[in-house]
Amino acid sequence: MQFLKQIFASLLGTFLAFVLFSIFGVSIFTAILLAALVEEEAPRLKDKSILTFDLSAEIQDTVPIASFAASFTEGDGNILSLRHAVKAIEAAAKDDRIVALFLDGSGGEGSSGYANLQALRRALEKFQEADKKIIAYDVDWTERKYYLGSIADEILLNPMGEMELNGLGSQQLFFTGALEKFGIGVQIVRVGKYKSAVEPYTQKQLSSENREQLENLLGDLWGNFLQVVGKSREISPQQLQNLVSTRGVFLPQEAIATGLADELAYFDEVEAKFRELTQQSKKKQGFRQIDLGTYAEITRQESLSSANKVGVLYARGTIVYGEGDREQMGSDRLVRQLRELRDDDEIKTVVLRIDSPGGSALASELILRELQLLQKKKPTIVSMGNVAASGGYWIAMGADRIFAELTTVTGSIGVFSILPNIEKIAAENGLTWDVVKTAPFADISSISRPKTEQELKIIQGGVDRIYDLFLDKVAKSRYLPRETVAAIAQGRVWSGLDAKKLGLVDELGGLDAAIAYAAKKADLGEDWQVEEYREEPTFNELLGSLFSLAIAPQKTQQKTPLIREWQNLQKELNILQNLNDPKNIYTLFPFSLNID
């Protein structure tokens, strides 16, 4: 019945919105939306409150437009800005109204990257240093949630739950067999033996080079997990590794016996703990609380202003040529934003936050050129998030200094081109082509046939040229010998820890460290504020996202294994939609890295 109610409500909402728009027009509909914002009561924080952090929330560098539109509706508000979340936790450490912090994992698992989780963990450490208690609770703990939850003063586990701590793994999907079955041919031109973005379309299993870099990358991430979790739980990394290797899944009593959890409790018993901390009546239900997203809004409203501004620009998503959409890094859009920051006299210095697997080589170069022009006028710092690889690393070459987290996936200095053809599948279905041309290579872009050896040689020359440019840019920007860059390039990805050792980044640290360095570089002293720069959504974009939210299915907290696998397949296929480089040459992260 509830399902039918949700469907009916969504249909009714969509219908009413359409009627409103049709009858009253854009201006009236806009006024209604603005009125909803103005009349909304500002959130209030009561004394002796618990700050609650839902671990199913996805922590992103910046909140997408869909979530902005969701503020008008009951849409998905489970996405938080990393910087706002970190600042909120740090503010709560000094706020006498906040008495404790609740890490609630019972709502499911988010997909936040480990670099973002690392930044959140540092903020939680500051909260603890203020002599404030952190309590964590979950029904089923996993590595991603436990990476944060392990810092808690008390870790509670539902008596019917378990802890699945069995290490990190990454599984790659390969399309080669399916392409062969359907008669679709794929030819590959690439530079870099580790540049494995093409492997899903040419092989049926990991190459030895790809397996090597994956093992090294996961090894660094897992090493960090063992260190920080072991330190919090007072278990040596070796002991923790032994527990994970011999058991993998811990039943409630085993979790207590091994020291991974402190107490077994149902949620009502957790609530009772918080009622005691907030000095509320034991007879009442629930406890006095404020969620992290709401508290972040309050702390943002209470922040001071200054004429000296550190501009923060978010470069997130696959790099595409042109404008791109809100989930992509469109070259035209980012170039426009960089120019505006360069011409804004109030912006004294700029931090570019990169979270991108790369993409179009041409688009990456257009962005880099604009960043270099900005660098000539103002100090320009790059902060790398979860991923800054291939084109994402290319654009970082326009920075005075590069910051990365220990767990940031970076590097992947390599280039490739994918050349599909449908000759076989077309022939099997009675389709043929013929051509008239004035020169031998007039139809080199055709997908009706495979490329000839001579054509492949031409395309390889273009890919080699882009790779040489990539090496030159890295060598010049990082003050490294070209032969050194060539040795650590080859399309290989590195952890932030290894990237620092190799000279690919300057410092290990998060976004806040990069911002503080930028302010120091610009000699701003103590009088400065952060100005997060992003284009406001147009009315059409906002309206479109509102309609999409109205008809979208309700988000479920837990995803079944089948749904997760289907979403991974969609993610892999979406990569192909982002390949829009005019020259069909890409600097893209070598594989779709799904770490579980």
User: Quick one: tokens of 199?
Assistant: 């492997």
**Phi then psi dihedrals of residue 419, to 5 deg:** -125, 90
Q: Do the Cβ atoms of 579 and 418 come closer than 8 Å?
A: yes
Best CA proximity match to 546, nearest among 76, 78, 25, 66: 66
Q: Ramachandran region of residue 486, left (φ > 0), alpha (ψ -120 to 50) or beta?
A: alpha
Exposure string (b/e) for 405-436, b if CB count within 10 Å is 16 or more? bbbbbbbbbbbbbbbebbbbebeeeeeeeeee
Q: What is the pLDDT of residue 306?
A: 81
Instruction: Compute the average pLDDT of residues 119-147.
Output: 96
SS3 content of the chain, % helix, strand, coil (to 5): 45, 20, 35
Q: Do the Cβ atoms of 580 and 322 come closer than 8 Å?
A: yes
Q: What is the pLDDT of residue 67?
A: 47
State the Cα–Cα distance between residues 464 and 199, nearest whole angstrom.
19
Q: Do the Cβ atoms of 84 and 534 come closer than 8 Å?
A: no
Checking if the pLDDT of 207 tops 50, the result is yes
**Phi then psi dihedrals of residue 468, to 5 deg:** -60, -40
Sign of CA pseudo-dihedral 287, 288, 291, 294: positive
Checking if the pLDDT of 570 tops 90, the result is no
In sequence order, the β-bridge partners of residue 356 are: 388
Listed range (27-41, 84-98, 179-193, 241-255) with the worst mean pLDDT = 27-41
pLDDT tens column, 446-489:
999 999 999 999 999 999 999 999 999 999 999 999 999 999 99
- Per-residue HEC secondary structure of 417-453 comes to EEEEECHHHHHHCCCCCCCCCCCCCCCCCCCCCCCCH
State the Cα–Cα distance between residues 447 and 73, nearest whole angstrom.
45
- Give the predicted TM-score (pTM) of the model: 0.84
Checking if the pLDDT of 24 tops 80, the result is no
Instruction: Compute the average pLDDT of residues 185-197.
Output: 87
Q: What is the pLDDT of residue 580?
A: 74
Q: What is the pLDDT of residue 565?
A: 58
CATH 3.90.226.10 fits 305-588, yes or no: yes
Q: What is the pLDDT of residue 574?
A: 65
Q: Where are the domains of the chain?
A: 1-40, 46-166+248-300, 305-588
Count of CB atoms situated within 10 Å of the CB of 35: 10
Q: Do the Cβ atoms of 413 and 474 come closer than 8 Å?
A: yes
Residue 327 CA, distance from chain mean position: 11
**Phi then psi dihedrals of residue 26, to 5 deg:** -65, -45
Listed range (85-94, 172-181, 518-527, 536-545) with the worst mean pLDDT = 536-545
User: Quick one: tokens of 450?
Assistant: 């495979």
State the Cα–Cα distance between residues 477 and 402, nearest whole angstrom.
11
User: Quick one: tokens of 581?
Assistant: 């480089």
Q: Do the Cβ atoms of 132 and 101 come closer than 8 Å?
A: yes
Instruction: Compute the average pLDDT of residues 489-507.
Output: 95
- Could you confirm whether 193 is annotated as catalytic? no
Q: What is the pLDDT of residue 555?
A: 46
> Of 196, 360, 390, 417, which one is the catalytic site residue?
390
* Half-sphere exposure for 158 (CA within 13 Å, toward CB): 15
State the Cα–Cα distance between residues 232 and 482, nearest whole angstrom.
42
Residues 6+ apart with CB under 8 A from 422: 183, 184, 185, 447, 448
User: Quick one: tokens of 498?
Assistant: 């290894």
Q: Do the Cβ atoms of 221 and 114 come closer than 8 Å?
A: yes
In sequence order, the β-bridge partners of residue 329 are: 319
Return the CATH superfamily for domain 46-166+248-300: 2-enoyl-CoA Hydratase; Chain A, domain 1 (3.90.226.10)
Whose tokens are 């957790």? That residue is: 270
pLDDT tens column, 360-407:
999 999 999 999 999 999 999 999 999 999 999 999 999 999 999 999
Q: What is the pLDDT of residue 76?
A: 45
State the Cα–Cα distance between residues 569 and 588, nearest whole angstrom.
18
Measured between alpha carbons, how far is residue 497 from residues 400, 406, 484, 493 in Å? Answer: 20, 5, 18, 12
Helix axes 331-343, 361-377, angle to 10 degrees: 0
Q: Ramachandran region of residue 259, left (φ > 0), alpha (ψ -120 to 50) or beta?
A: left
Residue 100 CA, distance from chain mean position: 28
pLDDT tens column, 230-240:
999 999 999 99
Q: Do the Cβ atoms of 103 and 93 come closer than 8 Å?
A: no
Task: Give 155 or 37, the one with higher predicted confidence.
Answer: 155
- Torsion (CA) 209, 211, 214, 218 in degrees, nearest 10: -140
Eight-state DSSP code of residue 555: P
Q: What is the pLDDT of residue 546?
A: 53
pLDDT tens column, 159-177:
999 999 999 998 888 989 9
Residue 577 — very low, low, confident or very high, per pLDDT cuts 50/70/90? low
> Of 132, 145, 195, 309, which one is the catalytic site residue?
195
**Taking all residues of the chain, what is their mean pLDDT, rounded to a whole number?**
85
**Phi then psi dihedrals of residue 115, to 5 deg:** -65, -40
Instruction: Compute the average pLDDT of residues 187-207.
Output: 88
pLDDT tens column, 30-89:
444 444 444 445 567 889 999 999 999 999 988 765 544 444 444 445 889 999 999 999
pLDDT tens column, 328-370:
899 999 999 999 999 999 999 999 999 999 999 999 999 999 9
Say yes or no: do domains 46-166+248-300 and 305-588 share a fold. yes
Listed range (204-208, 516-520, 566-570) with the worst mean pLDDT = 566-570
Q: How would you class 8 by CB atoms within 10 Å of its CB: exposed for 0-12, middle for 13-18, buried for 19 or more? A: exposed
Q: Give the pairing of strands 249-250 and 154-164.
A: antiparallel
State the Cα–Cα distance between residues 575 and 594, nearest whole angstrom.
14
Q: What is the pLDDT of residue 71?
A: 46
What is the SS3 assignment for 159? Answer: strand
- Could you confirm whether 5 is annotated as catalytic? no
Q: What is the pLDDT of residue 4?
A: 37
